[in-house]
Amino acid sequence: MSEGGLRMAICRALNPPQDSSSATSSAASVVNIQANPSNLAPGQYFGSVTVTGTAINSPQSVNLVLTVLPAVNTNALISPTSLSFIALPSGNPASQSVEVITSSSQTLTVSTILTFAEGNGWFTATPSAATLTSAQPLTETIAVNTTGLAPGTYLGTMDVHLAETNSDYLVSVELVVPKSIPSSSGTGTACTSTQLLPVFTNLEGGFQALAAVPVAVQVNVTDDCGSPLTSGSIVMYFPGSEDPAVSLAPLGNGQWTGSWMPHNIAGGAAQVGIVAASFTSAIYGSAGIAGTLVRNSAAPLVNAAGVVSAASLTPNAPVAPGSYLSIFGSNLSAKPSAPSSLPLPNTLGGAQVLLGGHPLPLNFVGPKQINAIVPYDTPVNTIQQLTVIQNGMYSLAETLVVAVAQPAVFTQDQSGVGAAVITVVKPDGTQFPNTASEPAESGDALVIYCAGLGAVNPPVADGAAAPSSPPAMTVNPVNVTIGGKPAPLLFSGLAPGFAGLYQVNVTVPLGITAAPDVPVILYVGTASSPSVTVAIR
């Protein structure tokens, strides 16, 4: 793991967000989801479960992927991929089991090889050789012998080898022999923990995971006295990638879980790091594994931080009701497509976009970009998930913050910076686009085309053309500065005849220093647009 990535993850673990899952007092509900592969052909099947509650991030969607393997498949599945043992004062800890299963109709020959990073021969696996079929899964029993072991942490590996494919599946084995010291009362013993020992229980070293598909990750965390971590913070991070860090949720008895969202659709080497922190004793620990992401040429994928205002293109910015979004990624649709009329459709070119479970009107879809409009009734001051569905396949969900407004001005080169898309209206009614060769001057009216100004009144149906009479005006007050000076407001609302396009009309104030690039900023409450420019003489 890189030092910088580890340091960042430690900071996240020791300073978690307020909505992290570290509090043991909060109630939790468990939803059991079962899959029935009967009569399904080999392949991948996508689905979604939406959970609604009273939290600010409601609703939340859980994307499901069911992989049906072919009958001729000769691979095996191992569960768990890691075991953790705690030495007991009274003797050896109880044995644990590893299940080895296959969907193959072929009989596979299994053998186990044990290696020891510390110590030697302190665990055994039974049986050491066996056969495996789809009808007869194999159970490997791992037993530990702590006789003669000094206090400390012992690591080992069980290699499950398949002769027919010459393939290996590694199971990590960890043993903690606690350090015992006299207690303060002088009777019995006590142990003071100095570090946490996280281990992955469902990912093995050298793992292979399919890109653009959620990967469940489970971790078991104990301290070096053998006590499970039941409250604290577990942060999972991914060195060398753009995948966002993930806070894991506690399941109890030292078990923690979360989902990794691998965005590298081209595949390649991958790393997963874990930093665990305990708040009660101020100790932490880390672990990491390396594996491979398998290229995914079919599933839709939204780039990390790939949902932006179509006007500003600013990454990681909030969205607002009525926002005009550009969504960048891969496999978002089979081919470019645009609607021929209004209102905008919710499905276009086999693609659909959901925000908080609700479909978005679509203005354009292409393999690498979708333009869509946030519905006007999207709850504000909430956290919502955005998912692209393309021909029945679901993208990884991207988390968006929904604000009351997030203004942005369209620019002439569509970069989000520089010269704005502004129409100059002279006192005699003459109109022309503002450019360096045709500047505006004091007293002229400017029509500034923009996005993200929020709710309007009267309401307008999502994706429908904005009316001209009466015009749909912004509910929230809008202010504009030109060259740092307040510009008198004439109108702010939706541009008549368009879907998702706002316009703000102002008068150029007196005293503006002439320049081809005078700054223009829009304000809605505490939110402001990125600065763009207008030519003034």
Quick: pLDDT tens for 262-287: 999 999 999 999 999 998 888 999 99
> Could you give the number of structural domains in the chain?
3
Pick from 102-116, 180-194, 403-417: least confident: 180-194
Q: Which of 12-26, 165-179, 407-421 has the highest mean pLDDT?
A: 407-421
The β-bridge partners of 382 are 402
254 and 200 fall within a common domain:
yes
* Burial (CB count <10 Å: 0-12, 13-18, 19+), residue 212: buried
DSSP character at residue 413: T
Using 50, 70 and 90 to split pLDDT, how confident is the model at 73?
low
Cβ contacts of 253 within 8 Å, gap of 6 or more: 228, 230
From the list 11, 8, 18, the residue with the least C-alpha distance to 277 is: 11
Domain finish residue from 376, 402, 428: 402
Domain final position from 402, 418, 445: 402
Which of 8-12, 276-280, 325-329 tops mean pLDDT? 325-329
Q: What is the DSSP letter of 75?
A: -
CATH code at 270? 2.60.40.10
Q: Is residue 269 part of a domain?
A: yes
Q: Are residue 101 and residue 247 in the same domain, yes or no?
A: yes
Confidence of residue 192 (pLDDT cuts 50, 70, 90): confident
Report d(CA 535, CA 516) in Å as an integer.
4
pLDDT of residue 408: 98
Q: 45-49, 53-57, 200-204, 423-427: which has the highest mean pLDDT?
A: 423-427
Residue 145: closest CA among 121, 170, 129 = 121
pLDDT tier for residue 77 given thresholds of 50, 70 and 90: confident
Same domain flag for 413 and 396: no
Between residues 197 and 104, which one has the greater pLDDT? 197
Same domain, 277 and 334: no
pLDDT band with cut points at 50, 70 and 90 for residue 24: very low
Question: Are residues 57 and 146 part of one domain?
Answer: yes
In a domain, 29, yes or no: no
Work out the average pLDDT over 417-423: 98
Does 135 or 83 have the greater pLDDT score?
Answer: 83
Residues ≥6 apart with Cβ < 8 Å to 397: 61, 63, 261, 385, 386, 387
Same domain as 419, residue 392: no
* pLDDT 10s digits, 497-529: 999 999 999 999 999 999 999 999 999 999 999
- The reported pLDDT for the residue numbered 379 is 95
370 and 418 share one domain: no
Percent of the chain past pLDDT 90, that is, above it, reads: 72
Q: Are 68 and 43 in contact (CB under 8 A)?
A: yes
CB 222 within 8 A of CB 86: yes
Do residues 290 and 328 both lie within one domain?
no
Interstrand relation of 283-294 and 207-210 (parallel, antiparallel or unpaired): parallel
What is the amino acid identity at position 190? Answer: A
Range of the domain at 378: 301-402
pLDDT band with cut points at 50, 70 and 90 for residue 8: very low
The C-alpha atoms of residue 495 and residue 535 are separated, in whole angstroms, by: 22
What is the rounded average pLDDT for all residues in the chain? 89
Whether pLDDT at 432 is above 50: yes
pLDDT number for residue 68? 79
Helix (H), strand (E) at residue 105: none
- Domain annotation covers residue 355: yes
Q: Are residues 447 and 466 in the same domain?
A: yes
Task: Examine the domain organization and report whether 510 and 492 are in the same domain.
Answer: yes
- Tell me if residue 185 falls in helix, strand or coil: coil
- 56, 78 contact by CB (below 8 A): no
**Which residues contact residue 389 at a Cβ distance below 8 angstroms, ignoring those fewer than 6 apart?**
46, 300, 351, 352, 353, 354, 395
Looking up tokens 């979604």 gives 48
